Structure 1
Amino acid sequence: MPDSIAKPAAPFSYTYSANLPELLLRLKCSLVISTYQSGKVIIFSAKDANSLVQLPRTFDKPMGMALSGHRLAIANRQEVIVTANASGLAPHYPDKPHTYDALYIPRATYYTGEVDIHDLKWVGDKLLAVNTAFSCLSVIDEDYSFRPVWKPPFISALKPEDRCHLNGLALANGKPAYVTALGSGDSPQSWRTDMLKGGILMGVDSSELILDRLPVPHSPRVVNGRLLLLLSATGELVEVDKAKGSYEVITRFRGFVRGMEQFGDYLFIGLSRLRPGSTLFTEAPIAKSANHCGIAIVHLPTGKQVAELVYTATVEELYDVGVLPGQLRPNILNTNKNYHTLAVVTPQEVFWRQPETPANPS
Structure 2
Amino acid sequence: MAGASNGPSPATPGTPKPTNTNLTVSRGLSDWLRANRTSIAFTSYQTGQLFLVGVTPAGTVSFNQQNFSRAMGVCYQPGRLYLGTSHQIWRLENMLRPGETANQHFDMALIPRNAQTTGDVDVHEVGTDAAGRVIFVNTKYSCLATLDLNHSFRPIWKPGFISKLAPEDRCHLNGMAMDGGTPRYVTAVSRSDSLTGWRERRHEGGVLIEVATDRIVTDQLSMPHSPRVLGDHVLALDSGRGHLIRIDPATGERTDIAFCPGFLRGMSLHNGHALVTVSKPRNGTFAGLALDTALASRDAEAWCGVLIVNLASGDIVEWIKLDGFITELFDVAVMPGVVCPMSIGPDTPEMRSTISFDREISPLS
TM surpasses 0.5: yes
- On the 8 A contact 1:299/1:305 being kept in 2, the answer is yes
- Whether 1:176 and 2:187 are equivalent positions in the alignment is no
Do the aligned partners of residues 199 and 90 (structure 1) sit closer, same or farther apart at CA in structure 2, a change above 3 Å counting? farther
Listed as ranges, the gaps of 5+ residues in structure 2 are 1-17
Q: How far off its partner does 1:265 sit?
A: 2.1
> Structure 1 vs Structure 2: percent identity of aligned residues?
32
Alignment correspondent of 2:24: 15
315-324 or 330-339, which moves further after superposition?
330-339
1:185-232 residue CA offsets vs partner (Å, 9 max, x unmatched): 111111111112121110000001111031110000012343101011
Q: 1:159 maps to what in 2?
A: 166
1:71 aligns with 2:77: no
**Which residue of 316, 334, 341 maps to 1:305?**
316
Task: Mark the runs of 5 or more structure 1 residues left unpaired by the alignment.
Answer: 1-8, 351-362
One of 102, 105, 110 as aligned partner of 1:104: 110
CA distance in 1, matches of 2:276, 2:57: 23
Letter in 2 for 1:127: V
Give per-residue Cα distances to partners, 1:152-172, cap 9 Å, x unaligned. Answer: 001111010111110000011
Where do 4+ consecutive residues of structure 1 move more than 4 Å? 89-93, 347-350
Matched, 1:271 2:282: no
Q: CA deviation at 1:243?
A: 1.9
SS in 2 for 1:25: helix
Q: Partner of 1:240 in structure 2?
A: 247
- Superposed counterparts of 1:47-86, under 5 Å: 47=56, 51-86=60-95
Contact 1:119 1:129 in 2 (8 A): yes
Q: Does 1:315 align with 2:321?
A: no
Task: Check whether the contact 2:101–2:108 (CA below 8 A) recurs between aligned residues.
Answer: no
Instruction: Give me the TM-score of the superposition, normalised by structure 1.
Output: 0.88
* Aligned residues of 2:101 and 2:107 also touching (Cα < 8 A): no
1:329 paired to 2:340: yes
Please tell me whether Structure 1 or Structure 2 has the larger radius of gyration of its CA atoms.
1
Q: What pairs with 1:124-139 in structure 2 (closer than 5 Å)? A: 124-139=131-146
- Write the letter of the residue equivalent to 2:172: H
Q: CA RMSD in A?
A: 2.0
Match of 1:250 in 2: 257
**Helix, strand or coil for the counterpart of 1:339?**
helix
Please give the per-residue CA displacement for 1:255-282, whole angstroms capped at 9, x wherever unaligned. 111101011122111111112x32423x
AA at the equivalent of 1:344: I
Matches of 1:348 and 1:272, distance apart in 2: 46
Change (3 A) 1:328 1:92: closer
SS in 2 for 1:184: coil
Q: Is the 8 A contact 1:18 1:50 kept in 2?
A: no
In 2, Cα distance between the equivalents of 1:125 and 1:270?
A: 26
* Residues 182, 216 of structure 1: 8 Å contact kept: yes
* Secondary structure at the counterpart of residue 198 of structure 2: helix
Please state if 1:230 is matched with 2:237.
yes
CA distance in 1, matches of 2:28, 2:72: 28
**Aligned residues between the structures:** 337
TM-score by structure 2 length?
0.87
Q: CA deviation at 1:347?
A: 4.6
Aligned residue for 1:344, secondary structure, equals coil
Q: How does 1:201-240 map to 2 (within 5 A)?
A: 201-240=208-247
Change (3 A) 1:125 1:267: same
2:35 match: 26
Q: What amino acid is aligned across from residue 55 of structure 1 in structure 2?
A: N
